[in-house]
Amino acid sequence: MIPREFFHHCPRCGAKQAALPAGNSFKCAACGFLYYFNPAIAVAGFVFAADGRALFIRRAKEPAKGRLALPGGFVDFNETAEEALRRETREEVNLDLADLQFLCTRTNSYPYGGVTYPVLDLFFIARVVRAESVAALDGVESFEWTDPHAVSLESIAFPSIRNALVLLRERRLAAPQ
């Protein structure tokens, strides 16, 4: 279910709507309130250790519980993408990042609580400051340091991560220097 399917009433004035919104916006027939259905923004990082291996996490929660992913998550209000990736990486695996470099964006969808949210994922490459402090924390079942070329694409949790991993491999990218 996509978010616009919940707009039976105007969120500003409460007026019942004659029809569900179509397209990328909602406009209330009663008060004129206009709301755009924009994607949520998320970040993820290919975090490299000094030996060239990248960190992959195994998700502890749905969606995609048990599948491989990257450290990352949703960007909060008043937070840059880089700040969000640093925060999420500390929360999930207790690591600090250095030398963040933008890789690409990919579209995604994220089912949660009966709603499928459209998401724009921003991918970065980063170097870990101290790899030995890694720990499986919030939402992480386990982690592994591995060559990103050796990871099976079928084991990856989300299509956006698979697509970014393919790009990383094609460009033969590694840890920032």
Amino acid 148: pLDDT: 96
Amino acid 24: pLDDT: 85
Domain ranges of the chain: 1-38, 40-170
- Catalytic residues, which ones? 141
Residues 106 and 159: their CA atoms lie apart, in Å, by 9
CATH architecture type of domain 40-170: Alpha-Beta Complex (3.90)
What sign for the dihedral angle of Cα 114, 116, 122, 123?
positive
Residue holding tokens 């101290």? 130
Q: List the pLDDT tens digit at each of the 177 positions of the chain.
A: 567 788 889 999 999 998 887 788 889 999 999 988 899 999 999 999 999 999 999 999 999 999 999 999 999 999 999 999 999 999 999 999 999 999 999 999 998 888 888 999 999 999 999 999 999 999 999 999 999 999 999 999 999 999 999 999 999 876 566
- Whether 135 and 165 have beta carbons less than 8 Å apart is answered as no
Determine how β-strand 115-128 pairs with β-strand 40-48: parallel
Whether this prediction's pTM lies above 0.75 is answered by: yes
- Whether 55 and 135 have beta carbons less than 8 Å apart is answered as no
Amino acid 112: pLDDT: 87
